[in-house]
Chain A
Amino acid sequence: MLKYLLKRFARSILTLFFILTIVFVLVRQMPIEGYFPNFEKMTQSQIENGLHQMGLDQPMVVQLIEFYKGLFHGDLGVSRVYNRGKPVWDILKTKLPLSIQLGSLSIVFSMIVGLPMGILMAKRKGKLPDHIGTAFIVLIQAVPAAVYYLFIQLYGTELMQIKLRFDPADFRSWILPVLSLSLGNIAYYAMWIRRYMVDESTKDYIMLARIKGCSEGRIMFRHIFRNAFVPMAQYLPTSFLNTVVGSIYIESLWSIKGMGGLLVDVIHKQDNNMILGIVLLFACVGILGLMLGDLLMVLFDPRISFSKKGGD
């Protein structure tokens, strides 16, 4: 197991290296005009001077080596436009907590609502709760999130008599963003838990449990739910981390000063160091999520093992 983890870790580092290098090269393909707000009025020498100051006139390889040198010392560079001269990591540090709070609240809420909803739907399969739940899932999954977030904001704020802008100090203004963030996850958890539990409940060992006289509740939770939760466990860390790093759309709709809109913003402003810093963070989160997911799956299901390879 340890050997497997080490190998996997080494591979992740390699992946990170590729991601950063590709994004680094891509970012440098962006138009030069984007670096200067008053590009039309500048003379050739002014442009060259500006590029020189940013170090963009050097060959790509040199720039890349400089970047990795800095990264090796834990230095992500300073922001160019977004918050001039401030180290990237310091900016991210002030942005992260709000997104993490919102994301954690939303994940807790989605699990509290989504899992029981899925269990209830599986238990009453083909009856009214199942139909209502299915309708909800279809609606949430089919209608683009961009649309229903808008309507939640529109009618929710009217109903609760609150402002459109998010105010961290006001408890009431947390409710709607957290709800919007959660809806997708609720539908997703409910759908898969229902599906896995329905699949599981027709298996032979469930019949055996019933024959030997287990109570329905015990069968539901000790047998079906535990097995149905295994494939869910793999997805949980990814969904947690993704929600925690913030949603672009929700954060910009509510003007929440978190991580969400930051990436789009700095890409538009061509703040190269900021882009790379955020990409690094997101990539780490993505890779970590997959790894934690696999670990969690092993934890929940002792039959799964990564150290030995089957079938080869």
Chain B
Amino acid sequence: MRHPKIEQLEDHVSEALKQDLGIEKLFSVAPFDEEEVERTGDSDYSYWRSTFRAFRHNWIAMALLVLLVVILLFTFVQPYLPGQFDPNTITNGENGLPLKNQKADSVHWLGTNSIGQDLWSRVWAGTRNSLIIGISVALIEAGVGILMGVLWGYVRQLDFLFTELYNIIDNIPTTIVLILVSFLMRPGMGTIIFAMSITGWIGMARFVRNQVLIIRDRDYNVASRTLGTSTWRIMFRNLLPYLVSVIMLRMALSIPGAIGSEVFITYIGLGLPIEVCSLGNLINEGRKLMMSPNLRYQLIYPTIILSVVTVSFYIIGNAFSDAADPRNHL
């Protein structure tokens, strides 16, 4: 699209040149030729292919990625395997009483908890729910946060509004929001995802905003603006591709972050209802027993799986963000 001012300028210049030098027409619109377009471009380069190639070179991250995928699949497959218990069913022993605090054996692979539920299936059910929470929160935060963040950083008129909004949301205690949300909605997965997202997106938005501020006035963006490119096109074609690597890193970190806050929210008594297993619920149950050394396994098993999952996401996120940086492609 040509700006009317540019056409005007063209006309003025040709006018002046015609008078001085007698040249009829100096400027003409070049015809579009696809071959010419490709002539200078490195047509062999594909951003995502190079990103994955760079990522594959990092064998630690690759191994952890495989591990995470296996864990994720296993949490969904596990209930259908033979010899599994329901995470909420209390198993009774031969004397008819619940099998409390049973040590690990061939039936209960990790033993039972303090009211006689199978710890093995509880750990996997908890991992599944915590992963669902973590990934959903990260996706919602990223979707809303990126859009708002780019607007916040790029459109100057919105800066004041968003900055004030940030100051306000950032200073309203999350606990109040959580209590109100759990009061207005029934406690459950949806509620906790919603509550964590409505307080979390603004952090993501601020992060993206700071990144956008750094590159918004680079020469290539000024050039785009001068040529009359629309704001939306600049946002999605000029700014966001540049930020893929940092955004990816931030997203990968918000998954363990969300899993961790679930543990914390459960600790202060606002988490999921007791019949929905999550790593937070399990760790909280284990915490109550941690002072007796032979029951400590009920705290340690969920903690191990939690740490494996969060550390994996962290390392994969870092590796992927390195790989997604075009400067590391050549």
Contacts and interface: CB of A to CB of B under 8 A. Distances in A.
B116 interface: no
Contact of B168 (A19, A141, A263, A275): A19
B220 to A, nearest CB: 15
Interface string A284-312: 00110000000000000000000000010
A31 B175 contact: no
The dominant DSSP class at the A interface is: helix
B171 A286 contact: yes
B134 to A, nearest CB: 11
A249 B164 contact: no
Contact of B175 (A139, A150, A267): A267
Interface of B: 164, 167-168, 170-173, 175-177, 179-180, 183, 217, 253, 256, 259-261, 263-264, 267-269, 283, 287, 290-291, 296, 299, 303, 306-307, 310-311, 313-315
A150 B171 contact: no
Contacts of B173: 23, 263, 267, 278-279, 282
Nearest to B296: A154
Given A147-B283, A264-B268, A138 B260 contact: no
Contacts of B183: 29-31
A22 B167 CA distance: 12
Interface in A158-180: 164
A66 B307 CA distance: 49
B259 A15 contact: no
Nearest to B179: A267
22 contacts: A15-B168, A22-B168, A26-B172, A26-B180, A27-B176, A30-B183, A139-B311, A142-B307, A142-B311, A143-B307, A143-B310, A146-B264, A147-B263, A147-B283, A147-B306, A147-B307, A154-B296, A267-B173, A267-B179, A268-B179, A282-B173, A283-B171
A139 B303 CA distance: 13
A19 B171 contact: yes
Interface residues of A, number: 39
Indicate the member of A11, A144, A268 with the most B CB atoms within 10 Å. Answer: A144
B299 A15 contact: no
Nearest to A157: B291
B260 A145 contact: yes
B176 A146 contact: no
A249 B267 contact: yes
A267 B176 contact: yes
Given A15-B167, A279-B172, A144 B310 contact: yes
Contacts of A26: 172, 176-177, 180
Given A15-B167, A143-B311, A22 B172 contact: yes
A14 B165 CA distance: 12
Contacts of B269: 268
Interface string A248-281: 1100000000000001100110000001001100
Contacts of A150: 283, 287, 290, 299
B168 A248 contact: no
Interface in A7-54: 11, 14-15, 18-19, 22-23, 26-27, 29-31
A261 to B, nearest CB: 9
Contacts of A146: 260, 263-264, 267, 283
A73 B167 CA distance: 25
Kindly list the 10 A-B residue pairs having the minimum CB-CB distance in the complex, ordered from nearest: A144-B260, A142-B314, A283-B171, A142-B311, A146-B263, A142-B310, A15-B167, A143-B307, A19-B171, A146-B264
A286 B170 contact: yes
A262 B287 CA distance: 21
Contacts of B253: 141
B315 A311 contact: no
Indicate the member of B164, B176, B306, B310 with the most A CB atoms within 10 Å. Answer: B176
Given A26-B172, A263-B175, A282-B171, A144 B264 contact: yes
B72 to A, nearest CB: 17
Contacts of A267: 173, 175-176, 179
B259 A144 contact: yes
Given A146-B263, A146-B283, A279 B171 contact: yes
A26 to B, nearest CB: 6
B290 A23 contact: no
A283 B169 CA distance: 10
Indicate the member of B217, B259, B267, B315 with the most A CB atoms within 10 Å. Answer: B267
A154 B290 contact: yes
A11 B296 CA distance: 52
A138 B306 contact: no
Given A147-B307, A150-B287, A249-B267, A142 B172 contact: no
